[in-house]
A and B are shown apart, each in its own frame.
Chain A
Amino acid sequence: MKALSRREFLASTTVAAAVGLSAPALAQGAPRVVVVGGGFGGASAARALKQADPRIAVTLVETSRTFTACPFSNLVIGGLRELSAQQFGYDRVAAGGVEVVFATATGVDARARRVTLDSGAGLDFDRLVLSPGIDIRWNALPGYDEAAAEKMPHAWRAGPQTALLRRQLEAMEDGGVVVMAAPANPFRCPPGPYERASLIAHYLKTKKPKSKLILLDAKDQFSKQRLFQNAWKELYPDHLEWVSLSNGGKVTGVDASTMTLSTDFGSHKAAVANVIPPQKAGRIAEVAGVADQTGWCPIDPVTFESKLVPNIHVLGDATIAGGMPKSAFTANAQAKICAAATAKLVAGEQPEQPKLINTCYSVAAPDYGITVAGVYQPVNGVLTEVQGSGGVSPIDAPRSARAEEALYAAGWFNTITGEVFG
């Protein structure tokens, strides 16, 4: 065999590489993926799709030009951080080649593979990724409707509601009773109500010491429970009272006109009330037919494709994701797996078996961080925590370890928001 000259060698490898890389895309035209929802899940997915294969035409549909992050918004409510530090735009996402469309998706025709927008425009897709977050189940808690939320904020979607709850706390006279209601499972951010209770108690202790917070809970157990309860005993013994389901904590109705929350055991009149109501997948999930009777979305754990409608993927808080909690970390991790799988599927290839992490930081005080972490993989079609891994911060850790985790919490926020929006 004749030895190849350098020029022949280069030419032959270049042709082989070009043919090998572009044949599937040229045969089908550029694949189109539409992503609806520009939060931690959707914006991550759009970016990761473009990085996985720049030939995919990726369109991100998002209602708001400014994203307001929920993680760390409890610090805003507690007066320890400004809302502006929670806000991010989409310029960098667009600069990476994602077409960002500021509109609300109002319809999905799965058969025609078309999303319709409130502007009247339509977007055709080969595959659709929905990352719609949560919607409130208005009136699932009797008396709690959109008007009531203006007096008794939920602040469970960050933004004006976050600012409203903070203003109410700031306006409250010292000696007032703050009442929080925490919902039954499942809901966005399982440790969130308890972090919020901690940081409101921190505000009361430092600024309104004659006041008190009562946390009414529809559960007997909650995320990082022993860690939170130890922190409360140590930090807020006079300012925070948790009332479990067994002790009559389940709120059965609210009256915004009298600022009253009712339980089977009596009623609580609040100076400030924060009602975290029952939730469901964001509205477009229902419209697309990917939510089941629970209001949440069953998915394949390898591709995050809906189990109800083919070619539509769902990720983040909207999903039923086995052991994975509804968190920003989870949404970002799922988005990267979903994007890799979707890029393979549009190229006619087989997705890999995934492995995912969740890590949730909570702060019970500015220098007091605690975590829950887990590693997950599909087992019999369900995302399942790997045995022997994961768990919460050590129960007996010294305060120096809590301080270290509080610093890491801040670092995590900067890192993940940098990856998603930076």
Chain B
Amino acid sequence: MRATSFPAAVAVVLASIASEAAASPVAPAGASSCTGCHAASPGVDTPIPRIAGRSAAETVAQMQGFKTGQRKGTVMDRLAKGYSDAEIQAIAEWYAQQK
């Protein structure tokens, strides 16, 4: 093993530990209900988009659009108003880690 590869190996191990922590089965408050409509698994016949694996920034932008009324929705404009900015951020980050 070359000397320079050692820190890289540690970084890889640390990264894998970090991603395991992020992919914890414990969802933040308010997140677990979402998969009643937004399919957790791919391949479901539905026009409702999946949010698992979507970037946190995009989910936050969509939710804030619904919450402020800038984006029209059918159901989500009513539901987004029930979440704080911090909750939206945590839920978006958690779904970004799901596959």
B15 to nearest A CB, angstroms?
13
Name which of A10, A13, A415, A419 has the most chain B CB atoms within 10 A of its CB: A415
In contact, B79 and A340 (Cβ under 8 angstroms): no
Collect the chain A residues with CB atoms within 8 Å of residue B41's CB. Answer: 418-419, 422
Contact A353/B44 with A412-B37, A419-B35 known, Cβ cut-off 8 Å: no
Contact of B44 among A377, A401, A414 (CB under 8 A): A414
Chain B interface size range: 35 or more
Contact A374/B82 with A353-B29, A357-B34 known, Cβ cut-off 8 Å: yes
Shortest Cβ distance from B40 into A: residue = A419
Collect the chain B residues with CB atoms within 8 Å of residue A337's CB. Answer: 32
Task: Report if B18 contacts A (CB, 8 A).
Answer: no
A162 to nearest B CB, angstroms?
23
Contact of B13 among A10, A340, A353, A419 (CB under 8 A): A10
Q: Give A388-422 as 1s and 0s: 1 = Cβ < 8 Å from B's Cβ atoms.
A: 11110100000001001101101110111011001
In contact, B29 and A411 (Cβ under 8 angstroms): no
- Which of A330-372 touch B at CB < 8 Å? 332-333, 336-337, 340, 352-357, 359, 371
Task: Report if A373 contacts B (CB, 8 A).
Answer: yes
A58 to nearest B CB, angstroms?
14
A108 to nearest B CB, angstroms?
27
In contact, B79 and A356 (Cβ under 8 angstroms): no
Name which of B25, B36, B47, B74 has the most chain A CB atoms within 10 A of its CB: B36
Contact A411/B32 with A52-B26, A340-B27 known, Cβ cut-off 8 Å: no
In contact, A357 and B1 (Cβ under 8 angstroms): no
Q: Give B26-52 as 1s and 0s: 1 = Cβ < 8 Å from A's Cβ atoms.
A: 110110111111111100111110000
Interface size on A, residues (CB 8 A): 47
Contact A414/B37 with A340-B32, A371-B74, A408-B74 known, Cβ cut-off 8 Å: no
Contact of B48 among A9, A388, A411 (CB under 8 A): A411
Task: Report if A216 contacts B (CB, 8 A).
Answer: no
Collect the chain B residues with CB atoms within 8 Å of residue A393's CB. Answer: 74
Q: Give A1-27 as 1s and 0s: 1 = Cβ < 8 Å from B's Cβ atoms.
A: 000001001100100000000000000
In contact, B36 and A357 (Cβ under 8 angstroms): yes
Q: Count the A-B residue pairs with Cβ separation under 8 angstroms: how many?
A: 126
Shortest Cβ distance from B81 into A: residue = A389
Contact A389/B78 with A52-B26, A408-B48, A415-B38 known, Cβ cut-off 8 Å: yes
- Which of B44-99 touch A at CB < 8 Å? 44-48, 74-75, 78-83, 87
C-alpha gap A393/B76 in the complex (Å): 11
C-alpha gap A373/B13 in the complex (Å): 43
In contact, A412 and B10 (Cβ under 8 angstroms): no
Shortest Cβ distance from B48 into A: residue = A411
C-alpha gap A401/B38 in the complex (Å): 19
Collect the chain B residues with CB atoms within 8 Å of residue A48's CB. Answer: 32
Collect the chain A residues with CB atoms within 8 Å of residue B32's CB. Answer: 48, 333, 336-337, 340
Q: Give B1-33 as 1s and 0s: 1 = Cβ < 8 Å from A's Cβ atoms.
A: 100001001100100010000000111011011
C-alpha gap A393/B79 in the complex (Å): 12
Collect the chain B residues with CB atoms within 8 Å of residue A340's CB. Answer: 26-27, 32
- Contacts A357-B79, A419-B39, A419-B41 aside, 14 further interface pairs with beta carbons under 8 A come to A51-B25, A333-B36, A336-B32, A357-B30, A359-B36, A373-B75, A388-B82, A393-B74, A415-B39, A418-B41, A418-B44, A419-B35, A422-B41, A422-B44
What are 19 contact pairs spanning A and B, CB under 8 A? A13-B17, A51-B25, A340-B27, A357-B30, A359-B79, A374-B79, A375-B79, A389-B80, A389-B82, A390-B82, A405-B74, A408-B37, A411-B46, A411-B47, A412-B48, A415-B38, A415-B39, A415-B44, A419-B40
Q: Show the binding face of B for A, using Cβ within 8 Å.
A: 1, 6, 9-10, 13, 17, 25-27, 29-30, 32-41, 44-48, 74-75, 78-83, 87
Top 8 A-B pairs ranked by shortest CB distance? A375-B82, A411-B46, A389-B82, A355-B30, A357-B33, A386-B82, A336-B32, A389-B81
